Amino acid sequence: MTYDAVVLGLGGMGSAALAHLAQRGRRVLGIEQFARAHDRGSSAGRSRIIRMAYYEDPAYVPLLRRAYELWRALEWDSDAKLLELCGILMAGGPDSRVIRGAGASARLHGVPIEELTRAEILRRYPMLRLRDDERGLFEPHAGIVFPEAAIDAHLRVAERAGADIRFETRACGYASQATGIRVELDDGSTIVTRRVAICAGPWLSEIARELALPLRVQRNVQIWFEPVTAAYGIDRFPTFFLDRTDAAAALYGFPDDGSGIKAALHKHGVSTSPERLDRTVHDGDITHVRTALDDWMPGAAGTFVAGKVCMYTLTPDEHFIIDAHPRDTRIVLAGGFSGHGFKFCPVIGEIVADLVIDGTTRHPIEFLRLARLAASA
């Protein structure tokens, strides 16, 4: 059988791409090396931040507007709760990248935010421990997206629209032919398809090895604590992102299940590979997060509950890669998302489907093209 498209990798981005392609009537196959609902990649961990006043680059805001629309549409289509918009408090010194960047994005795109002085933050959240020069931004329409539920929703939508899916099947390689793309699988079989979308997360460099993509895989650890106070419940406290210039990394976190706290250090970890990843949560991992949390939210890091190791996949400029393969435009690449990508899943899925079907997209993605990496190198 010849497929219109094959999607390699069914994490956050791949499941979204599969759903969009199937909903547009394409004969599509999704291939995932692990079992359904696995936690081996970068898309597990119960919660991800969603926000629109985007400090990383204002160019992301139009994509986020569409992502919010598509998340709500997916909730409707799948009858699943995928978002909890409890707001986000971003805090730091006046020169912190988060405060400057998020404020600039909000002003440029008209994103509703509240600018808060130190005194105003403490009136609202008197339990916090702030430094004298720190200030904040509160974005009320930000909050949490639930990754496992989101992937399941996209997969169910894709299956309902006629997509085929193979779990526990690894794509070993692919080859361009005049009549299509041949995808080689680990069981010795091959699939012939007109188009391929590679959404392989930390495995992108491995499967597209001919491109020598400058991707770095980083080990990161998420930690859950049971606070000693009820002050950090989701009905009283939002998601948060703390950017202190003298800290080893920015601290971010979530109220979890209405009472606990999940926290992590952003882009703080050792370089690794999917095969060498140390998945054990060590005492030092817990201590790093606990110390940062104690300095910001006294009483939040009460009892250690759980930890999970995940992977960031980072480009040199920390922006995404979304583009056609430079040697064969029938192959579409989507990667380098880890660290801040999950909130974009449905719009990235839409863009990948655009590129697979039409070779172009209405969405502004020029700043995410591959050429920028070659130019910087």
Residue 245 confidence (pLDDT): 86
The model carries a pTM of: 0.97
CA 107-108-113 angle, to 5 degrees, is: 30
pLDDT given at position 376: 64
Residues 6+ apart with CB under 8 A from 138: 87, 88, 89, 90, 113, 114, 116, 238
**pLDDT number for residue 189:** 94
Q: Give CA–CA dist 179/162, Å, rounded.
A: 24
Find, among 208, 212, 223, 202, the residue nearest to 312 by Cα.
202
**pLDDT score for 248:** 83
For the chain, how many helices (H) and strands (E)?
9, 20
pLDDT, residue 347, reads 98
Give the pLDDT of the chain (377 residues) as one tens digit per residue: 789 999 999 999 999 999 999 999 999 999 999 999 999 999 999 999 999 999 999 999 999 999 999 999 999 999 999 999 999 999 999 899 999 999 999 999 999 999 999 999 999 999 999 999 999 999 999 999 999 999 999 999 999 999 999 999 999 999 999 999 999 999 999 999 999 999 999 999 999 999 999 999 999 999 999 999 999 999 999 999 999 988 889 999 999 876 699 999 999 999 999 999 999 999 999 999 999 999 999 999 999 999 999 999 999 999 999 999 999 999 999 999 988 999 999 999 999 999 999 999 999 999 999 999 986 65
Contacts of 374 (CB under 8 A, 6+ apart): none
Query: What pLDDT was estimated at residue 338?
Result: 81
Report the alpha-carbon distance of residue 374 to residue 377 in Å, rounded: 5
Give the per-residue pLDDT at 264: 97
Domains of the chain, each with CATH number or no CATH: 2-45+148-212+317-376 (3.50.50.60), 84-143+216-314 (3.30.9.10)
**Closest residue by Cα to residue 229 from 299, 284, 172:** 299
Say if strands 190-198 and 328-335 run parallel, antiparallel, or are unpaired. parallel
Asked if residues 232 and 246 have their Cβ atoms less than 8 Å apart, the reply is no
* pLDDT at res. 258: 67
DSSP string, 127-172: T----TT-EEEEETT-EEE-HHHHHHHHHHHHHHTT-EEE-S--EE
Give buried/exposed letters for 26-45 (b at 16+ CB in 10 A, else e).
bbbbbbbbbeeebbbbbbbb
Residues 11 and 29 sit within 8 Å (Cβ to Cβ): no
